[in-house]
Amino acid sequence: MKPKILITQPIPESVTNYLKGFFEIECWEQQETIPKGILYENVRDIQGLMNVGIPINEELLSNAPNLKVVSNISAGYNNFSIEDMRNYNVVGTNTPGVLDETVNDLVFGLILSTARRISELDSFMRAGKWQSGDDSHLFGLDVHGRTLGIIGLGRIGESICKRAIHGFGMNVLYHNRSRKSDIEEQLGITYASMDELLSASDFIVLMTPLTKETHHLIGEKEFAKMKNTAIFINASRGPTVDEQALINALKEKQIFGAGLDVFEQEPIDPNNPLLQLENVVLTPHIGSATTFTRENMAKVAAENLVEILINKNYKNVVKEFKDKLHV
């Protein structure tokens, strides 16, 4: 008898067909999030869960007595309640490496759009405001040759450093929980304290995972240390930033602008003041959202289920479970 899995969102047909060779499958085919009642009913007899964003906590796990593995279609896993999962002998996997360059593309899209005011000036043009005469009020900032400060030097952070150096001739500073001397030597980047990075960088990119330690890592004090010509980019997780402090910094022109793909509340509240500010570029958490990359992420997440449930090979298990590889 094949193990049973639940997929909580639509995935490419090619990936579904692959999984059918190994599992009995239940799949939520609607675009909206699966309702909690339906979710809990469907997890009662599954061994694997393929998921994006749904909290994996005691409430869910208590309804899933046979669950062995949760496979996130994501590099992030802040939806995992690690202690609860460990208590229930459930491991979690992710999809590292698949989305690095795609997220990198978006980060530089946000950098360029914010620095050169592309979104703002697009609206300016569409409103028929372009007239002959002095155009100094339309000036933006150069990107090439400037200093990029990156907070969080994981896989995506390293990718961003390479693009900054080789694509834009930028000087790169980084701050990370642990110093990476080998990467410094390989890429020619410089380690800096948080204060040094904030005060010296023209572009500050936040790429840390969301943990208790990184919640509101960037707030009022950090924005006050940035140049008034600095641009802040967040493509990590929304709660890593004190959003009200960011709004104040943008309103008071403490910084030049911001580019954001993530927010404290998602989807964003229609009354959020960020939506009214011209010096911020906003995208709806689409860092990895290209057809090619999302299909590859789903494929890797599917392979993770096969490797663990069928082959007993613990592939892409997130680090918090690697000392407890039994299910």
Q: The CATH number of the domain where 310 resides is what?
A: 3.40.50.720
Backbone angles phi, psi at 37, to 5 degrees: -60, -45
Over residues 168-199, the pLDDT tens digits come to: 999 999 999 999 999 999 999 999 999 999 99
Which among 41, 252, 266, 278 is annotated as catalytic? 266
Q: Is the pLDDT of residue 241 over 60?
A: yes
Q: Which residues of 196-225 are buried (b: 16+ CB within 10 A; e: fewer)?
A: ebbebbbbbbbbbbbeeebeebbbeebbee
pLDDT score recorded for residue 296? 97
How crowded is the C-beta side of 185, counted as CA atoms within 13 Å? 3
pLDDT score recorded for residue 1? 87
Say yes or no: 158 and 273 in one domain.
yes
Which among 120, 237, 294, 303 is annotated as catalytic? 237
Say yes or no: 217 and 174 in one domain.
yes
Where in the sequence is the domain holding 174, given as residue range(s)? 100-282
**The two structure tokens encoding residue 255:** 């910084």
Say yes or no: 300 and 248 in one domain.
no
Average pLDDT over residues 91-106: 96
266 is catalytic: yes
Say yes or no: 190 and 264 in one domain.
yes
Residue 117 — left, alpha, or beta (φ > 0 → left; ψ -120 to 50 → alpha)? left
Say yes or no: 226 and 152 in one domain.
yes
Say yes or no: 124 and 173 in one domain.
yes
Number of domains in the chain: 2
Q: What percent of the chain has pLDDT over 90?
A: 96
The helix or strand, by DSSP H or E, that contains position 213, with its residue range, turns out to be none
Q: Is the pLDDT of residue 327 over 80?
A: no
Say yes or no: 249 and 310 in one domain.
no
Give pTM, 2 decimals: 0.89
237 is catalytic: yes
Which among 116, 196, 285, 295 is annotated as catalytic? 285
| Residue 35, domain member (yes or no) | yes
278 is catalytic: no
